[in-house]
Amino acid sequence: MVEENFCKQNHDQYEEELEFKPVWVDIDDAIQKNNLILNSNSEKIPRWTKRETYVLEYIKESEF
């Protein structure tokens, strides 16, 4: 189990409103969930989802 020992966060107002918090997630799970969001018919897709998915896929392919 990973110990969640994060420092105090300095959120922007929208991050506070969305209750952002750091958590460890499996990269494949994150990519899959983001793709589900991107392929949905929702009009409320967060603007950063496409960029975040691109970066996650790049990291996975690069085997960091």
- Amino acid identity of residue 21, one-letter, is K
Q: Domain residue spans in the chain?
A: 23-62
pLDDT tens, residue by residue, 2-43: 556 667 788 899 888 988 888 889 999 999 999 999 999 888
More confident residue, 4 or 49: 49
Residue-level pLDDT at 40: 94
